Chains A and B, each alone.
Chain A
């Protein structure tokens, strides 16, 4: 049984109806997508700004109600948008650790909320649990009586992770958890996450725009473009051996020591307009391999090689 199963999950944000005339079709932030995450797996989600990765994440934790589709966590469906219902099974670690902590609450109050609200624990039990969690994320207990502004980014992110752990979830959604951190601290947090996963048998959904980071931490990777899955594959092979031209573009764009600088694409600077989406493949306007069929028909996600799926009419040779 997969830890997380998503079936045709989609989100359309309605647009304001004009005074006269019919309401325009909404903005499709996430087009129907299906995927599974196995227990103990880390699934990386990459894509550029506006590709729908944050909308997807917010739906998965119940902060946003899906327009269509269903979310199953360990076999039981969760289609309501009640964060408290989701909270016990799936938790969220935010991108900006400082703004995810209430500036006027002590760390102890922050940590106690999930224990009290989700698990109804009594005071002595809570204190014991907080000590356990703090020990596992390498934070000192004297931090508990301080306020968020007294912490550095790395420490604040550890507190964010500790809060997510306090809910004792099965799955943690990590939304750009290290983007706001300095590189030397980034590695500390990534290693901590890997360690916690093993220790508590967690399942991760790791959302980021940093290809090198996602490759270093994930088992499998999903590549999103314009609200749709364009490719799914194993972390070690997807960027080395991409089937979708967009994945290749991403991999070629990432700056790597020793690789000469060249612009991977010269034309097509404009991304597709969400208010006026192209009828066919959203990437066709930027794609060097695009033909007529790409501009009219949306490609389906098809099996291509071992453990790799891509949504492309003219996939790259492996």
Chain B
């Protein structure tokens, strides 16, 4: 809660709105005990007194009534009506929305078509019609304004509910024996409540304005009762000769609606989880670089990652996602990177081309050399020319990497044309060629498909085709087959293997699956808590793992053909990278750990192609 207020008041405009609104609310609350004139007593002799005249701070109106007194009483009434209307509309609208969204199907259809019909009328006409049917009066105006705003809440809340009703925790609640009404009240409502509050805070101002509009037309409060709208309406005839009578209620309406809207926007921004997580703050085009220390010297590898350090700075916390990783590939070579979630394998891959989102990502050390040239801190234009052209990526989820609204041919052509000047016809021909290369049957027809018309395996082939579009030297594949079925996975792996043999592609293959690494990769590096703990030729590492983590990780993965058995689980959880233990990060879970393991940094050591970061390795290397 206090975090919410902190966020809210960080927004200056919202804070200003809150101050103005609370001042008005305070004034209105103490109105009955203030020494004011009776707002309804007429004194025709004193009509149209100017503001600051004696006894009438804001002057008098056309019947000689005290404007200050009428203003405060009127504001009181208008605010009460506006808030009451908002509460009524929110309650009824949300109830309708939740019921329609939860039950779905025919119930949803009937309710929402009714709501649509309400929405088809211009709101002021509808409100006028309701008041005309019920007769003028403040209560009826309230009912009209509430009724007009019900569809807004109903539609909003239904949308949210439909998303929630399909979630697994609703199924779980049904299996726990809860009935419909209990599920709606205890499972759904707490989850939609923030949305209701947000919708309400942004509509209260609007409803006050609508009530004032009806009163202005003489359909709301009846004389002599004052509310802001009727005050404006009565002052209209004297607008030219005595402008203060309309300016006073006008300014009050302006202040109320403005402050409520500013505050409402602030509340929305502070409550909305997407805005709160900073998802809407645009990341920079390349990852921020704040390198300290020396840059390692160039090597003759095609792509070399050298002592790379990437961190995430979130508030006061520093997450060391990658803590000094060195990897290198030569043409035609496939390097596997194995690790669990949070081990830093994906961040390492994204750092290569400066694709880690900044903020919060910062590259704080090391170098990434492509053909000897350092890419860390390279100008954006130089990186952009290499992204997709020299170094290409394949991501895990092909559905989220393809644009849903463009045909795949267009997307492939775009990938080519952003790096090479070719005509549309040429680009299309090349796209078809690429589809053939990744063995998509009937490529001429498929090139005009949209992503949703293809299966998951097909889409991943498109992802690979796109990576191949500019004949890159290096492909970085981040769990490209994890989301796919085994038969499709086998096809994709064979495809990648053929490509690197035919074209001399270097592949960095990130995965958590030893079987995949064993089949595809020449060398493998195992990562844990942002560091490489072991590396070497795949066969050697898998046959004789030297680091206890590698050994136990291999042991706890069931393998086909092993039969029914107890698995050797690793107790505990991987460490969080903002609070890494001194020494070996695996020591708390390792049964061989000694005091020396927890003392200081342990180096990755070993002969040329084989290395392990352990003081007491399982195998001598």
B176 touching A113 by the CB < 8 A rule?
A: yes
A255 CA to B176 CA, complexed, in Å: 39
Minimum Cβ distance to chain A for residue B520 (Å) = 6
Minimum Cβ distance to chain A for residue B574 (Å) = 8
7 A-B pairs within 8 Å (CB atoms) are namely A48-B488, A95-B168, A183-B553, A184-B570, A217-B564, A254-B486, A261-B519
Minimum Cβ distance to chain A for residue B392 (Å) = 21
Which residues of A are found within 8 Å of B514, using beta-carbon distances?
A: 257
Which residues of A are found within 8 Å of B171, using beta-carbon distances?
A: 58, 63, 83, 92, 94, 100
A48-B486, A102-B187, A105-B190 given as contacts; is B441 within 8 A of A187 (CB)?
no
Which residue on chain A has the smallest CB distance to residue B441? A269
B487 in complex: contacting residue of A62, A99, A114, A265, CB < 8 Å = A265
A154-B573, A261-B493 given as contacts; is B516 within 8 A of A255 (CB)?
yes
Which residue on chain B has the smallest CB distance to residue A211? B560
In the complex, A72 has a CB within 8 A of chain B: no
Minimum Cβ distance to chain B for residue A81 (Å) = 10
In the complex, A37 has a CB within 8 A of chain B: no
A264 touching B487 by the CB < 8 A rule?
A: yes
Which residues of A are found within 8 Å of B570, using beta-carbon distances?
A: 184, 187-188
A140 CA to B560 CA, complexed, in Å: 34
A113 in complex: contacting residue of B178, B520, B552, CB < 8 Å = B178
Minimum Cβ distance to chain A for residue B480 (Å) = 13
Which residue on chain A has the smallest CB distance to residue B482? A179
In the complex, B497 has a CB within 8 A of chain A: yes
Q: Which of B220-228, B248-256, B372-380, B450-458 contacts A (4 or more CB under 8 A)?
A: B450-458
Which residue on chain B has the smallest CB distance to residue A258? B518
Minimum Cβ distance to chain A for residue B319 (Å) = 16
In the complex, A135 has a CB within 8 A of chain B: no
A269 touching B439 by the CB < 8 A rule?
A: yes
A253 in complex: contacting residue of B176, B341, B489, CB < 8 Å = B489
B175 touching A61 by the CB < 8 A rule?
A: yes
Minimum Cβ distance to chain A for residue B396 (Å) = 13
In the complex, A294 has a CB within 8 A of chain B: no
**Chain B, 156-191, CB within 8 A of any chain A CB:** 167-169, 171-179, 182, 186-187, 190-191
A92 in complex: contacting residue of B172, B553, B563, CB < 8 Å = B172
A187 CA to B493 CA, complexed, in Å: 26
Which residues of A are found within 8 Å of B519, using beta-carbon distances?
A: 255-256, 259-261
Which residues of B are found within 8 Å of A217, using beta-carbon distances?
A: 564
**Chain B, 546-588, CB within 8 A of any chain A CB:** 552-553, 556-571, 573-574
Which residues of B are found within 8 Å of A83, using beta-carbon distances?
A: 171, 174-175, 177
Which residue on chain A has the smallest CB distance to residue B495? A263
In the complex, A96 has a CB within 8 A of chain B: yes
B175 in complex: contacting residue of A63, A212, A251, CB < 8 Å = A63
A263 CA to B457 CA, complexed, in Å: 14
Which residue on chain A has the smallest CB distance to residue B440? A269
A163 CA to B168 CA, complexed, in Å: 13
In the complex, B31 has a CB within 8 A of chain A: no
What is the total number of residues of chain B having a CB less than 8 Å from a CB of chain A? 66
Which residues of B are found within 8 Å of A187, using beta-carbon distances?
A: 556-558, 567-570
A265 CA to B455 CA, complexed, in Å: 17
Max chain A Cβ within 10 angstroms of own Cβ: one of B167, B175, B340, B493: B175
A191 touching B487 by the CB < 8 A rule?
A: no
A104-B191, A183-B340, A215-B560 given as contacts; is B569 within 8 A of A117 (CB)?
no
A118 in complex: contacting residue of B176, B187, B191, B440, CB < 8 Å = B176
A218 touching B564 by the CB < 8 A rule?
A: yes
Which residues of A are found within 8 Å of B512, using beta-carbon distances?
A: 182-183
A99-B167, A239-B561, A258-B518 given as contacts; is B176 within 8 A of A263 (CB)?
no
A188 CA to B174 CA, complexed, in Å: 28
A82 CA to B564 CA, complexed, in Å: 35
B173 touching A113 by the CB < 8 A rule?
A: yes
Which residues of A are found within 8 Å of B558, using beta-carbon distances?
A: 187, 190, 212-213, 215-216
**Chain B, 480-531, CB within 8 A of any chain A CB:** 485-491, 493-495, 497, 512-516, 518-520
Binding site for B on A (CB under 8 A): 48-49, 58, 61-63, 83-84, 86-88, 91-92, 94-96, 99-105, 113-114, 117-118, 152, 154, 160, 163, 166-167, 182-188, 190-191, 194, 209, 211-213, 215-219, 235-236, 239-240, 249-265, 269-271
A58 CA to B172 CA, complexed, in Å: 11
In the complex, B542 has a CB within 8 A of chain A: yes
A259 CA to B493 CA, complexed, in Å: 13
B564 touching A236 by the CB < 8 A rule?
A: yes
A187 CA to B559 CA, complexed, in Å: 12
A239 CA to B486 CA, complexed, in Å: 14
Which residue on chain A has the smallest CB distance to residue B188? A102
**Chain B, 418-441, CB within 8 A of any chain A CB:** 439-441
Minimum Cβ distance to chain B for residue A102 (Å) = 4
Max chain B Cβ within 10 angstroms of own Cβ: one of A184, A191, A194, A235: A184
Which residues of A are found within 8 Å of B456, using beta-carbon distances?
A: 49
A-B contact sample (11 more), CB < 8 A, given A114-B177, A269-B457, A269-B491:
A87-B176, A99-B167, A100-B171, A117-B176, A117-B178, A167-B176, A183-B556, A183-B557, A216-B564, A255-B515, A260-B519
Minimum Cβ distance to chain A for residue B291 (Å) = 31
A252 CA to B491 CA, complexed, in Å: 11
A91 in complex: contacting residue of B175, B179, B520, B568, CB < 8 Å = B175
A83-B177, A167-B176, A259-B519 given as contacts; is B169 within 8 A of A100 (CB)?
yes
A263 CA to B497 CA, complexed, in Å: 10
Minimum Cβ distance to chain B for residue A19 (Å) = 16
Which residues of A are found within 8 Å of B567, using beta-carbon distances?
A: 187, 190-191, 216
A257 touching B177 by the CB < 8 A rule?
A: no
A37 CA to B71 CA, complexed, in Å: 77
Which residues of A are found within 8 Å of B560, using beta-carbon distances?
A: 211-212, 215, 239, 251, 254, 256
Which residues of A are found within 8 Å of B566, using beta-carbon distances?
A: 191, 194
A235 CA to B558 CA, complexed, in Å: 14
Minimum Cβ distance to chain B for residue A111 (Å) = 9
Which residues of A are found within 8 Å of B177, using beta-carbon distances?
A: 83-84, 87-88, 113-114, 117-118, 167
Which residues of A are found within 8 Å of B513, using beta-carbon distances?
A: 255
A251 CA to B490 CA, complexed, in Å: 11
A88 CA to B177 CA, complexed, in Å: 9
Which residues of A are found within 8 Å of B167, using beta-carbon distances?
A: 99
B176 in complex: contacting residue of A49, A152, A163, A256, CB < 8 Å = A163
A235 CA to B485 CA, complexed, in Å: 20
Minimum Cβ distance to chain B for residue A251 (Å) = 7
B172 touching A94 by the CB < 8 A rule?
A: yes
Which residues of B are found within 8 Å of A269, using beta-carbon distances?
A: 439-441, 457-458, 491
Max chain A Cβ within 10 angstroms of own Cβ: one of B182, B495, B515: B515
A62 CA to B513 CA, complexed, in Å: 35
Which residues of A are found within 8 Å of B182, using beta-carbon distances?
A: 117
A152 CA to B340 CA, complexed, in Å: 13
A235 CA to B561 CA, complexed, in Å: 10
Scoring B residues 72 to 113 as 1 if CB is less than 8 Å from chain A, else 0, what string do you get? 000000000000000000000000000000000000000000
Scoring B residues 250 to 286 as 1 if CB is less than 8 Å from chain A, else 0, what string do you get? 0000000000000000000000000000000000000
A86 touching B175 by the CB < 8 A rule?
A: yes
Which residue on chain B has the smallest CB distance to residue A103? B191
A260 CA to B179 CA, complexed, in Å: 54
A184 touching B553 by the CB < 8 A rule?
A: yes
Which residues of B are found within 8 Å of A257, using beta-carbon distances?
A: 514-515, 518, 542, 559
A184-B340, A209-B486 given as contacts; is B497 within 8 A of A261 (CB)?
yes
A102 in complex: contacting residue of B174, B191, B553, CB < 8 Å = B191
Minimum Cβ distance to chain B for residue A115 (Å) = 9
Minimum Cβ distance to chain B for residue A211 (Å) = 5
A101 CA to B171 CA, complexed, in Å: 10
